[in-house]
Amino acid sequence: MITAVEVRVRELDRTPDLVDLVGAAREAGHEVLLVERPMPDAVSVAALGRAYDIVAAPGGVALEDAAGKTLDFEAGEDRILAASRMWRRLSASLKGPDAGPPASGPVAVGGFAYRPDRDLAGPWSGFPALLLRVPALAVTRARGRTFISAFTPDAEALLEIGTAAGGANLRAPSARTLDVAPVRNPVAWTAAVGTAAERLRAGAAEKVVLAREVIARGDGVVSAASVVRALRAAYPSCFTYLVTGSDGTAFAGASPELLIRRSGSRAWSQPMAGSVARGATDLDDDRLARKLEESAKDAVEHRVVSRFVVEAMSPFSVNVTARPPEVVRFTNIQHLATNVSAQLLDPAADVLQLAAALHPTPAVGGWPRDAAQRLIDELEGLERGWYAGAVGWIDGRGDGEFAVALRCGLLWEDGARLYAGVGVMPDSDPARELEETELKFKALLTALV
């Protein structure tokens, strides 16, 4: 049974560093989540402790209290949609201000796996297939202002942990060097890419995404907070995120790709597909960008993704607009991206309903979905876990933002499993696809030490 909870919201006169805050709270033994985008108008949320969890359960999702006791259950084959229905019930019981900044008052932070319908095991055993957490304390930064939302009586004490510790309380020396090894032999992986391209030429699908996994072991502690801090500094326009697992692991990354953002009656997505390296100079950058724009393979791959996003958002919308593709630049890579915006029908679908319609996009799975998934199951040879899933937040209005969980790794005390994928098309060159994964791995490898 869900009982009414009064949510206390107030504005802070200072802005704590959210990474320091979650890092210190984690060192103190608290569960933490963070979704941050250090852009002027962006919303960032740090979640400290736990009041409620909406979590994947057999046949749907369960609502659990801080002690793990099940309070409610929502059945549904699509767990993201089941979570949307559960959130509507739960948020109605969280009594906060009628108006306020995004992600203040009732808010849940978390995400879901690439396959939210499958329970996770092995390295991912500390993570459920879906988790949306109402924290004990949420710290929200929006449009230059910072708010806290307290869901338990003593939640504000968590704020003092980060203030006192400064996020630097490590128990052992940090790692200085890494030993990096692929989980699957690169020769075998490129052979799988070649097989996939051959299957596509035979009509098995239009596109399939295949991922690789490497294990990096350090000679000291790999601090999750330090990794996120380094990613934020290196990739300032990306979504940086941190989700802690129940087994002491942490999922962290810096994603360039917006799955869905919803604000009132408007929604936005920015699918990305097609990549090329950055150049050593501005002229090199421009030359490589032109090469990407002129690539027939990348143009077709991107068109499959952008067309899907427009069609998936259309049933929820009065109209959907897609701008022409453009090249967006990040620290070590350039992508083809399309900005999609929608005017939503009234009443507007919430951000989880929209996420359920979009996930997984062809940018991370392939197209058609079922055919591509069969190829992934046969050829990829790894458990993706939350890689290529989504991370983000939803508030009491149904507004929210979810990023595709890319450029990421599953961290433990002295190492990490890192993930990177590529879109395979009928004319893909396996050697080039291998090079692209190496380029993407650098995003996290450089942040580990």
Q: Is 440 a catalytic residue?
A: no
Contact partners, residue 156, CB within 8 Å, separation at least 6? 137, 148, 150
The single residue of 27, 31, 207, 433 carrying the catalytic annotation is 207
User: Which alpha helices (H) appear in 71-167, and where do they start and end?
Assistant: 79-93, 157-165
User: Which alpha helices (H) appear in 69-185, and where do they start and end?
Assistant: 79-93, 157-165
Q: What sign results for the dihedral spanned by CA atoms 271, 276, 279, 285?
A: negative
Q: Is 207 a catalytic residue?
A: yes
Cα→Cα distances 364→205, 358, 390, Å: 14, 11, 11
Q: Are strands 52-57 and 60-65 parallel, antiparallel or unpaired?
A: antiparallel
Q: Are 226 and 22 in contact (CB under 8 A)?
A: no
Largest CA distance in the chain: 62
Strand order in the sheet with 333-337: 272-277, 333-337, 326-329
The single residue of 31, 64, 213, 257 carrying the catalytic annotation is 257
Q: DSSP code of 431?
A: H
Spatial separation of the C-alpha atoms in residues 87 and 68, rounded to whole Å: 17
Active-site residue set: 207, 257
